Amino acid sequence: MLFEVWAPNAGNVELRLDGRTRPMEPDPAGSGWWRLTAAATAGARYGFALDDGPVLPDPRSRRQPDGPEGPSAVVDHTAHRWHHPWPGRDLTGAVLYELHVGTFTEEGTFAAAAGRLGHLADLGVSHVQLMPVCPFPGTHGWGYDGVAPWAVHEPYGGPDGLKEFVDAAHGHGLGVVLDVVHNHLGPSGNRLPEFGPYFTDRYHTPWGSAVNLDGPGSDEVRDYFVGSALAFLRDYRLDGLRLDAVHALADSRAEHFLFQLSSAVAELSAELGRPLFLIAESDRNDPLTCTPRELNGLGLDAQWNDDFHHALHVALTGESHGYYADFARAPLATLARTLTDGFFHAGTYSAFRGRRHGRPLDRPATPAGRLLGYAQTHDQVGNRATGDRLTPALDLGLAACAAALVLCGPFTPMLFMGEEWGATTPWQYFTDHPDPELAEAVRVGRRREFAAHGWSADAVPDPQDPATRARSVLDWSEATRAPHAELLDWYRTLLAVRRTHLAPGLPLAATRVDHDEEARTLTVRHGVLAVSVNLGERIASPAVPPGALPLAASAGAEAMTLPPRSAAVFLLPPDEARKHGS
């Protein structure tokens, strides 16, 4: 097989394969590339030594069986036997379910997670969105400090485990999306700088050195991350990728990295004959992120909409600290604006940022489904001091209201694992760094961060304590007990209503909202559906036209009466539905 590595500054490169050392030759066709053909079978251990230095893992390693800093292992992707033919499942009409492999089950493996896929199919979601699975130090962690972007975390099950999980998901009719990190690598085990200019000190990120996307050598760096993305989509039969924090991708080149990536994914989709898509996490509120490339956009298919989350969270909880302050002046009006306009900050002043932020979306031209709507995510739960979830802080009625707005609203819905039954287990920040100095730095940094917001050090969980991860594991027995089982039935009902009645692809302009700030009621109409919620303390009547047909109502709600903290979903009469684009 062909072994090759990019090491533009090296004077000599050697391949160490199963204990034998072989000199590599410069590739005359590729500047800075070294290559050698040698016999090797799947599982063979290897690495590269630069200028007689230590043996390093392959930057494009497909497997790290002994962890990020151990030798790489050969993987034969063609040897895997797939059991379920898969035509693909695109993002149109999708419902995503965000899942962390390490805490979805006590075992924390792909195999154990696959055993729960029947629950997700029965729930009615369309895609599982896996949090990052690239290798990181230790056994347990969130995955955003991975250091081998082409490989799969061995404690989860490695490459074969991921393939078996994806195959099982496809057998249940579920697509699979993978969260990938291109804006930084983790602080421990990152050997890429020893090979070439993968990083730059001209920019900085909150998580470490910035990836070199626009300086000397950046052609190869960009190809490295694009190649990693394409390899996961192709070799693991994934349906899409979620791109972490794309606002942290510093790139001054005329063709932005995301444009290059979306173009390459479109080409791969055509080659494979199945749909592929990209979802961005972006803090910029920039319409160009999801504008098609032919209209001079970056060409991504969707993006997370934190503005909707923040508006919904404030309306439900009354919290107003930090970035929630911008959404707290008139919570129902703010929520209404995010439902109709997508972005709340669309060139308007943000007190939290101390400046104007964002640009408006083109409501007639922008499909509402290009925005993901959610009440909880790993970020919005795990980045709280104690990892407390939203639902345990609400009564069942308000939780039902949140679910109705997310699942039958205009945006592509996304759930965070366990949300569907109102899981009471927290989801806390946990790490497993073997380096004691790094472990202590993470521990101290986490406590210092929240001390600035009034938290005592003892109240902030120790990320390195195994009990922190253990507390974050889902308790599946909750789903069968009251009141969790009742909430789970509500989620199933809402997803069935959405699947049956809501046509995908409608623009933002097809959404209308009526709200009453004082009474704390809101009705959103999109397509043929109207969702009415009463977040207040008085009985209310839903703002729906005569002839609207009730399809679902939370406990205590009736056809045309909404008790305090209740929700109902209606099918609009045909003449009314036509006003909303159906």
Give the active site residues: 244, 281
247 appears as a binding residue in the annotation = yes
242 appears as a binding residue in the annotation = yes
Q: Which tokens sit at 395?
A: 């009564």
Q: CB neighbours of 284 closer than 8 A, spacing ≥ 6?
A: 247, 358
User: Across-strand partners of 550?
Assistant: 570
309 appears as a binding residue in the annotation = yes
243 appears as a binding residue in the annotation = yes
The verdict on whether omega for the bond into residue 483 sits within 30 degrees of 0, i.e. cis, is yes
326 appears as a binding residue in the annotation = no
How far apart CA 213 and CA 205 sit, in angstroms, is: 13
Closest CA to 126 of 412, 391, 421, 531: 412
Which helix or strand (DSSP H or E) is residue 490 part of?
helix 484-501
User: Across-strand partners of 413?
Assistant: 373
Burial 184-204 (b: 16+ CB within 10 A, else e): bbbbbbbbbebbbbbbbeebe
306 appears as a binding residue in the annotation = yes
182 appears as a binding residue in the annotation = no
Q: Which tokens sit at 422?
A: 């109102």
380 appears as a binding residue in the annotation = yes
Which segments of 124-173 does DSSP mark as H helices, in order?
158-171
How far apart CA 121 and CA 492 sit, in angstroms, is: 10
Q: Which tokens sit at 472?
A: 């974050």
Looking at this protein, which amino acid is placed at residue 253? R
The DSSP line for 334-364 is HHHHHHHHS-S-SSEEETTTTEEE-----TT
Looking at this protein, which amino acid is placed at residue 29? A
- CB of 174 closer than 8 Å to CB of 120: yes
Q: Which tokens sit at 204?
A: 């900085």
How far apart CA 437 and CA 440 sit, in angstroms, is: 5
357 appears as a binding residue in the annotation = no
- Exposure on the CB side of residue 175, measured as CA atoms within 13 A: 24
User: Across-strand partners of 335?
Assistant: none
Looking at this protein, which amino acid is placed at residue 197? P
Sole residue written with tokens 């920019």:
203
383 appears as a binding residue in the annotation = yes
308 appears as a binding residue in the annotation = yes
| Binding-site sequence positions for substrate | 242-247, 306-310, 378-383
| Binding-site sequence positions | 242-247, 306-310, 378-383
